[in-house]
A and B are shown apart, each in its own frame.
Chain A
Amino acid sequence: MNGLTFAVQLLNGVQYGLVLFLVASGLTLVFGILGVINLAHGAFYMLGAYLAYWIAAMTGSFWAALLGSVGISFVLGLALENVFIKRMYGRDHLAQVLLSFGMILVIDEVRQILFGKDVHSVAPPAWLSGSIKLTDVLSYPVYRLALCGFCLAMAIAIFYVIQRTRIGMVIRAGAENREMTRSLGIPFDTVNRFVFAGGIALAALGGAVVAPVSTVFPGMGDSMLILSFVVVVLGGIGSVSGAAIGALLIGLTDTFGKVFFPQISSILIYVLMAGILLWRPNGILGKREV
């Protein structure tokens, strides 16, 4: 393997990791701040992709598809929090798992009714649809590079909101001590609602931006859900920076695993997870038990 191929594979790994981060960040926020296990996260990822396909087919605009998909999912997230999720705070995880598993089934069935079972694709905007020639045979699609940049920008935005803004402060305070935050007069219930809807919107955003390079198909959320959980557990539950590290680790392990150890590539990320959890049982940046 020469330098260029190595660099390309590195880019593949980083790009895959960044996409994983975008999807997993929503899961870790909901998990870490609301204490809710949301198994339906992958289903919202799929829904985001289908909505993007649907809106793109109607309007012909990729950006409209992106905004529409995120907007609809955000509103859906607000409604679901108001009706279902808010009853789940503080309940044991089994109840949350049952509820969110039910949501997977419902979302799947709704998707079936609205969009059918066919495989679809979404065209990227014209100025991003070209590719850059790397060698005489290999080119790199511009959209994948743009995807890297977009995910990176989203990551920075998420860090900024959580670490530097007032709303981020409230979120962090709530994650630290729910009752204390509430007794200080902070409208924590509203914050909760927006955090959940934000998590859903991030999943849908992931599905929508990935749609042009991935395709849109019924089972697409399942593997993403499992990988997102691996990322969240690896990075430390509730830690956004942990999720970023975890996602990059998994992206690189998966990519180089496929290249160097094709026979065992499918178990490598789980071996990595087991190893890291032995070393740090709460994940890389997880909080230590007091």
Chain B
Amino acid sequence: MTKKLTNSDTNLVGMSRRRFLTGTAGLTILGGASHFPMPALAQGSPLKVGLMLPYSGTFAKLGKFVDDGFRLYVEQQGGKLGGREVSFVQVDDESKPEAATDNMNRLVGREKVDVVVGTVHSGVAMAMVKVARDTNTMLIIPNAGANEATGPMCAPHVFRTSFSNWQVCYPMGKVVADAGHKKVVTITWRYAAGTQMVDAFKEGFTKAGGTIAGELALPFPEVEFQALITQIATLKPDAVFAFFAGGGAVKFVKDYAAAGLNKSIPLYGAGFLTDGTIAAQGDAATGIKTTLHYADNIDNPANKAFQGAFKAKTGNDGDIYAVQGFDGAALLNVGLTAVKGDKAARETMVTAMRAAKLDSPRGPMSFSKANNPIQNIYLREVKNGRNELVSIAQANVEDPARGCKLTG
């Protein structure tokens, strides 16, 4: 553990000691020459960003993309945010909630980072939120969708640049109802994220006049779907709403198609059903409609520029995780720019970040009072092995932030 940290101590992006010294010396001279007061910059310590992400385990690929997206933005600003140099400390959270508090405390206590960015897994993220609240540390969540993070556990200095589980699924209710489906069966894993996503869909769907004909669930992360798929065929709903991710998503979509259900009962889902899994799902995924805050072919300049730059940096096509990391850095940049790089002026920084309006690759994005993104939720359909944009399912969706004291 200690070794991991020692390694990462030296992991300062574009920051050899010499370059750092010349940089600050230059700034001091500049400051002196122009008689322009730049107290914070003259102090010169870089902004220390703690990246607490899954660098190994099931979510390693997601963590890598968040990390790449964040660093891409910082590199585009010349290694600085708001004029201040940035250094990184990496901690592998391994998606293990039991180690989350220790890892977070190490970043905050020993490494004394100025801001923590993390993470993918909701259980880990909730432990991080708790430490961030206790120690008054700034936290930017680049993926985890647990409603609580910007609900009962919300705080002015805890931001999220991804989504809430509610936000992604609620708009789907109206989409499914508008498509003329009256009776829908839901299916998911019986765990926090699955329940929150299905509940949000139910809320949207029943509000639009639909009825839930059955709620199927199986223990996380079981993948033996056959019995439940037979049950769907028995219930004969007009449509099915599903939330699964990763290997489970691939298997469910394939089993659904193999049972012939895809021909008669349309499948809808949260975007994660077909995101990052589409290659393995192949033809079985064709025609599935999902909602998410991103689509592969969003046609705006920010997305094109982002995709080009990300491909050039990493050789991979940018995905939603990369976008969320990228926007995390963009949000931090807004805060630091407002205080001209003076990271000590935390209050001003937080106020600026809460009011931030980002031109994200996903489209326009601002923040709710609970610091969750207000963003478009897109309806996508799987065509030609891609999650192609169909329409905006609902524009500027704001999470209701139930239980958050900041919204009052």
Q: Which residues in A have some Cβ–Cβ distance to B below 8 Å? A: 1, 5, 8-9, 12-13, 15-16, 117-121, 131, 133, 135-141, 143-144, 213-215, 217-220, 223, 254-256, 258-259, 262, 265-266
Contacts and interface: CB of A to CB of B under 8 A. Distances in A.
Nearest to B282: A121
Given A5-B230, A137-B236, A139-B259, 11 more contacts: A5-B233, A15-B226, A117-B61, A118-B61, A119-B250, A121-B282, A131-B258, A214-B251, A215-B251, A262-B216, A262-B218
B260 A138 contact: yes
B261 A121 contact: no
A255 B234 contact: no
The secondary structure that dominates the B interface is helix
B58 A141 contact: no
Contacts of A141: 258-259
Chain B interface bracket (under 10, 10 to 19, 20 to 34, 35 or more): 35 or more
Contacts, number: 102
A46 to B, nearest CB: 11
B222 interface: yes
A138 B230 contact: yes
B408 to A, nearest CB: 37
B265 interface: yes
A10 to B, nearest CB: 10
B237 to A, nearest CB: 10
Contacts of A223: 221-223
B281 interface: yes
**Residue of B60, B246, B261 with most chain A CB atoms under a 10 A cut-off:** B246
**Residue of B219, B226, B265 with most chain A CB atoms under a 10 A cut-off:** B226
B316 interface: no
B231 A259 contact: yes
Interface string B232-264: 011010000000001100110011001111001
B246 A137 contact: no
B259 A140 contact: yes
Nearest to A15: B226
Contacts of B258: 131, 139, 141, 143-144, 213
B33 interface: no
29 contacts: A9-B230, A12-B230, A13-B227, A16-B226, A117-B60, A118-B279, A119-B247, A119-B280, A120-B280, A136-B264, A137-B233, A137-B261, A138-B230, A139-B258, A139-B259, A213-B254, A213-B258, A214-B223, A215-B250, A217-B247, A219-B58, A254-B227, A255-B227, A258-B227, A258-B231, A262-B216, A262-B218, A266-B219, A266-B222
Nearest to A135: B233
Given A139-B259, A219-B58, A219-B221, A121 B247 contact: no
B54 to A, nearest CB: 11
Contacts of B277: 119
Given A121-B281, A219-B58, A262-B216, A12 B250 contact: no
Contacts of A5: 230, 233-234
Contacts of B259: 131, 138-141
A94 B53 CA distance: 34
A4 B203 CA distance: 34
Given A217-B250, A266-B219, A133 B260 contact: yes
B224 A16 contact: yes
Contact of B254 (A215, A256, A258, A266): A215
Contacts of A262: 216-218
A16 B217 CA distance: 18
Contact of B58 (A117, A144, A214, A215): A117
B58 A218 contact: yes
Interface in B254-290: 254-255, 258-261, 264-265, 277, 279-282
Nearest to A116: B61
A131 B260 contact: yes
Contact of A1 (B61, B221, B222, B234): B234
Contacts of B234: 1, 5
